[in-house]
Chain A
Amino acid sequence: MLDLVKTNLLEIKNLRIEATSYPPGEAPRKVVLVDDVSVAVQQGRVLGLIGESGAGKSTIGLSAMAFARGGARLAGGQIMLNGRDIREAGAGDLRSLRGREVTYVAQSAAAAFNPAKRLMEQVIETSLHHKLMTRAEAEARAVDLFRKLGLPNPETFGTRYPHQVSGGQLQRAMTAMALCPKPDLVVFDEPTTALDVTTQIDVLVAIKAAIRDTGVAALYITHDLAVVAQVADDILVLRGGKKVEYGTTDQIINAPQQAYTQALVSVRSIDHAEKDDSAPVLSVANVTARYKGTNFDVLKNVTVDLSAGQTLAVVGESGSGKSTLARVITGLLPAAQGRITFAGRTLSADLASRTKDDLRELQMIYQMADTAMNPRQTVGTIIGRPLEFYFGLKGDAKRKRIQELLEEIEMGAGFIDRYPAELSGGQKQRVCIARALAAKPKLIICDEVTSALDPLVADGILKLLLALQQREGVAYLFITHDLATVKAIADKIAVMYRGQVVRYGSKTDVLTPPYDDYTDLLLSSVPEMKLGWLESVLAARKMESGGN
């Protein structure tokens, strides 16, 4: 037993983390964020922490540095790091272990780097502050790490400011910053979640190689089981701050014991029969668009069709122009050239000169349901507004229709007087769907509607959208960067890259080889839920480039 404690770099025993919430108008309440969680990490091993938002995975990750966000408290249990309980440590001891023994890689590197300082200054700050190296040594190590992590021009990369490099590069710089002081343990908090799939795979490879080369131990926090399967040795599945299952990666992925883990592993299993083409409800023909004051076309000659009652998925990475396409169709950004036909009518390019029917029949749902609703209006008011505006419904008739719509989104009439703040993320998105449906549209544009949701909740939304399509015959233009979502919901797919449609056709055609280069890159970059996927993709890519 004594021997075991020694080999564990980090051992968390019966950890309990609490916070106090202050609901308006009520007495303060104690909330348990993490309850009775025990894990251990050995030298050079990687432990994956996985769960939905609110599962307590970041909270546990930060507890390895004895850090608690906001008003949270490390209320009970032990956090043994290098043989001592850091929960008991004083402020001075904590400052000396943070950055020296444990470092942290944040989810959004763009926000986690100080915008006013050069990258090099920030990357070597920890090493200098803890007097681990001289400035020259630290800079040499940083450049070495930049090179290892595949950053461009490693010698001069550090002279840049955070806003001067891309998101994927920043995430790698953040990893370099964490590795620079040669810590014993690195906490990776969703390091690839904010990145495009094609970028994610590069960063994942870089992180994995860096962990291997430096022999550092790591906590890898993510909500994506397929990602964690590529880097972790062990996995702890969390839900609501409690342990669900803890085992080796192989066991969790291939033989999950708990029903919740099984659901996580089998998520993304939605499928539906591809619908046949019929008369198009929307035709976009040769549309080109650019933003004011720029001399660069964000959309180039885009042509797509969408049949009534079908789903067209527009897929691509950030900056590919997929959201701009939505803005052009809705008239928020008038097209410079090309024609948009909707329900047999030619739509005028700008919003102001469209008819009320044009507006009604073309609805939109957004990624952030939070910001798309007025927080001071009840669900009833939010859904009732289009009923009033388009159909002139009032009083009891309006209330009855709102209740019907709430039933349709599987929420129940009881929600009618609730405020958005009282709803979960999935429920908010459902209310937004009901608001769009209230207008009886022919087409709903869904802009990354499931991207901000946890996988199981997102699945529920997708199933609801499919069911509604069946019942109401509404068409969807579904914008997403997530290929699993595309496979679940699309009848047709348009792959966009740098403002152009590079591949377009029925789902089966688009997802069947031979692929063009970009679609191939995109498809092969989506993490698959099996061990060794990362290596096999890299091997395949190396062979291709070697063969050329």
Chain B
Amino acid sequence: MHPVVKLVTQRLALGLLLMLAVSALIFFGVEALPGDTAQAMLGQSATPEALANLREKMGLNEPVIWRYGHWLYGFMTGDMGVALTNGEDIATSIGSRLGNTLFLAFWAALISVPLAILLGLLAARYNGRWPDRLISGVTLATISLPEFVAGYLVLYFLAVKLQWFPAMSMVFPGMGVFERLQAVILPVIVLVMVVLAHMMRMTRAAILNVMQSAYIETAELKGLSPLTVIWRHAFPNAIAPVVNVVMLNLAYLVVGVVVVEVVFVYPGMGQYLVDHVTKRDLPVVQACGMIFAAVYIGLNILADVVSILANPRLRHPK
């Protein structure tokens, strides 16, 4: 078997295994909390008879392993159960919420990843000189700013003072793409500010590391310009570490946007999760946890696979 196929298969298998472990952690973690779903639904004043009836009806008296299997099977077939608070089907509610979050993450990624890499290349090109210091300084400043502060600053200047963009990122079904874009521009700006520095600095560090290699001198002695040397000879060898950081940040764009969504009242996964955590709606919390875990694991496996594919020794064995 081609070594790449073998390595990629191994990574995928590992990812599935990890997913299984995480699902167990989420399910039994929630299970270990005091009280159960029936208790949560009926509240403090429930009579023992009513509780017993409901438990019987919901299958809560079955062995825990059986319920875990049932829950996991349901999850895999798209049945995530119903929310306790409003009785809505979780899969349906999450569907539109996840779509909103991914929409936001997509645009933030589309701007931040190329921008971070470009800035990283420039910083490496002018290593130690003023462009490098300016780029490092500005990106460090934006990452040091807590997201809610950045959010409110952006709101204050761009929405309140200049009134260029709406302060609330309200989106609803049936909205046009252009209107949607206009609505999410402020949260996208804040997210870009948050993830830019990390990716930029990793790109810079990885390229500077490669710049010590003998083949960089070869390229310089061919008469190539510094940026050509960096782009054509250094960057292809710096992909693996950069991809890993990029994927971590992409995962953060999906999983870590809670604060930004709350600031901009954006109806995404983060808002949804926060709402239901405060109401102790455990099935929803479990479902959100599973989805976040899947995004994290999936993107990290993707990073591994890209790193494997970027290595010519693995791609083209002897």
* Contact surface of A with B, Cβ cutoff 8 Å: 65, 67, 69, 94-100, 103-104, 106, 108, 111-117, 125-126, 129-130, 160-161, 163-164
Is the CB–CB distance between A161 and B221 below 8 Å?
Answer: no
The reply to whether B223 and A111 contact each other, CB–CB distance below 8 Å, is no
- The answer to whether B222 has its CB under 8 Å from any CB of chain A is yes
- Contacts A161-B312, A163-B318 given; does A113 touch B223 at CB 8 Å: no
Q: Are B318 and A104 in contact (CB under 8 A)?
A: no
CB-contact partner of B223 in A126, A161, A163, under 8 A: A126
B223 touching A114, Cβ below 8 Å: no
A113 CA to B233 CA, complexed, in Å: 10
- Asked if A99 and B222 make an inter-chain contact with CB atoms under 8 angstroms apart, the answer reads yes
On chain B, the residues within 8 Å of A164 by CB distance are 316, 318
Task: Please determine whether B316 and A129 come into contact, CB atoms closer than 8 angstroms.
Answer: no
Residues of B within 8 A of A108 (CB): 214
Take A95-B225, A164-B318 as given contacts and tell me if A112 and B218 are in contact as well, using a CB distance cutoff of 8 Å. yes
Q: A161-B312, A161-B316, A164-B318 are in contact. Are A112 and B214 (CB under 8 A)?
A: yes
CB-defined A-B contacts under 8 Å, sample of 12:
A67-B221, A94-B223, A95-B225, A99-B223, A114-B218, A114-B219, A115-B237, A117-B233, A125-B224, A126-B222, A161-B312, A161-B316
Kindly report which residue of chain A lies nearest to residue B215, judged by CB atoms: A114
Contact B222 A114 (CB under 8 A): no
Let me know if B275 is at the binding interface, CB within 8 A: no
State which size class the interface on B falls in.
20 to 34
> Could you tell me if A115 and B223 are in contact, using CB atoms closer than 8 angstroms?
no
> Is A114 in contact with B217, judged by CB distance below 8 angstroms?
no
Contacts A112-B214, A116-B236, A161-B316 given: A103-B221 contact, CB under 8 Å?
Answer: yes
Complex: A539 Cα to B224 Cα, angstroms: 42
A99-B215 in contact (CB<8A):
no
Tell me the bound Cα distance from A452 to B239 in angstroms: 34
Q: Judge whether B313 is part of the interface by a CB distance below 8 angstroms.
A: yes
Nearest-Cβ distance from residue B58 to partner chain A, whole angstroms: 53
> What residues of chain B lie closer than 8 Å to A163, measured between beta carbons?
312-313, 316, 318
Q: Are A97 and B312 in contact (CB under 8 A)?
A: no
Q: Which residues of A contact B222 (CB under 8 A)?
A: 98-99, 103, 125-126, 129
Do B316 and A104 have beta carbons less than 8 Å apart?
A: no
Q: Are B316 and A116 in contact (CB under 8 A)?
A: no
Is A104 a contact partner of B221 (Cβ separation < 8 A)?
yes
Q: Is B31 an interface residue (CB 8 A)?
A: no
CB-based contact A98/B221 at 8 Å: yes
Does B213 sit within 8 A of A, measured CB to CB? Answer: yes
Q: Contacts A115-B237, A126-B223, A129-B223; is A106 near B312 (CB within 8 Å)? A: no
B125 to chain A, nearest CB (A): 13
B215–A130 CB distance below 8 A: no
Known: A106-B214, A106-B217, A115-B312. A96 touches B236 (CB 8 A): no
- Max chain A Cβ within 10 angstroms of own Cβ: one of B220, B223, B225, B233: B223
1/0 contact string of B223-248 vs chain A (CB within 8 Å): 11100100001001100000000000
9 closest A-B pairs by CB: A99-B223, A98-B223, A111-B214, A116-B236, A99-B222, A95-B223, A114-B215, A126-B222, A104-B221
Q: Contacting A96 at CB < 8 Å: which of B218, B223, B233?
A: B223
B219 CB, nearest partner CB in chain A, Å: 7
A contact residues around B221 at 8 Å (CB): 65, 67, 98-99, 103-104
- Nearest CB of chain A from residue B268's CB, rounded to whole Å: 38
Alpha-carbon distance A353/B145, docked complex (angstroms): 59
Q: Tell me, rounded to whole Å, the shortest Cβ–Cβ distance linking B82 to chain A.
A: 52
Across-interface contacts of A160 in B (CB, < 8 A): 316
Given contacts A67-B220, A112-B217, A160-B316, 9 further A-B contacts (CB under 8 A): A95-B224, A98-B222, A98-B223, A108-B214, A111-B214, A114-B218, A114-B233, A115-B215, A129-B223
| Number of interchain pairs (Cβ within 8 Å) | 71
Bound: A512/B174 CA distance, A: 93
Chain B residues, Cβ within 8 Å of A161:
312-313, 316
Minimum distance in angstroms from A214 CB to a CB of chain B: 18
Alpha-carbon separation in the docked complex, A108 to B237 (Å): 18
Q: Identify the closest chain B residue to A108 (Cβ).
A: B214
In the bound complex, CA of A103 to CA of B221 (Å): 7
Determine whether the beta carbon of B312 is less than 8 Å from that of A116: yes
Which of B215, B228, B313, B318 gathers most chain A CB within 10 Å? B215
- Map CB proximity to A onto B138-175 as digits: 1 under 8 Å, 0 otherwise: 00000000000000000000000000000000000000
Task: Return B281 CB to nearest CB of chain A, in Å.
Answer: 50
Give chain A residues whose Cβ lies under 8 Å from the Cβ of B237: 114-116
- Bound: A103/B217 CA distance, A: 12
Q: In the complex, what distance in Å separates the CA atom of A94 from the CA atom of B225?
A: 10
CA A98 – CA B233 in complex, angstroms? 17
**Contact indicator B313/A114 (Cβ below 8 Å):** no
Per-position 1/0 for B276-289, Cβ under 8 A of A: 00000000000000
Closest to B315 in A: A161
Beta-carbon contact of B218 and A113 below 8 Å: yes
B198 to chain A, nearest CB (A): 24
* B223/A100 in contact, CB under 8 A: yes
Q: Chain A contacts of B219 at CB under 8 A?
A: 114
Least distance between A103 CB and chain B CB atoms (Å): 7
Is A113 a contact of B225 with CB atoms below 8 Å? no
Whether A104 contacts B312 in the complex (CB less than 8 A), given A114-B237, A163-B318, comes out as no
Given that A117-B236, A161-B316, A164-B318 are known contacts, is A112 also in contact with B215, CB under 8 Å in the complex? Answer: yes
| Shortest Cβ distance from A125 into B: residue | B222
Distance between Cα atoms of A370 and B216 in the complex (Å): 25
A111 to chain B minimum Cβ distance, whole angstroms, is 4
Interfacial chain B residues near A104, Cβ < 8 Å: 218, 221
**For residue B218, which residues in chain A have a CB less than 8 angstroms away from its CB?**
104, 106, 112-114
| Cβ distance A108 to chain B, nearest Cβ, rounded Å | 6
Distance (whole angstroms) from the CB of A130 to the closest CB of chain B: 6
* Cβ contacts B195-216/A at 8 Å (1 or 0 each): 0000000000000000001110
**Residues in B whose Cβ lies below 8 Å from that of A103:** 221-222
Complex Cα distance A163/B222, Å? 21
Bound Cα distance A128, B67 (Å):
67
Bound-complex Cα distance A161 to B228 (A): 20
CB < 8 Å neighbour of A130 from B223, B310, B318: B223
Q: Could you say which residues of chain B place their CB within 8 Å of the CB of A115?
A: 215, 237, 312-313
How long is the Cα–Cα vector from A94 to B223 in the complex, in angstroms? 7
Of A96, A100, A108, A112, which is in contact with the most chain B CB atoms at under 10 Å from its CB?
A112
- CA of A185 to CA of B318, assembled, Å: 34
Q: Which residues of B contact A67 (CB under 8 A)?
A: 220-221
The smallest C-beta distance from A325 to any residue of chain B, in angstroms, reads 25
Which of chain A's residues have a CB closer than 8 A to the CB of B310? 116
A114 and B224: CB pair below 8 A?
no
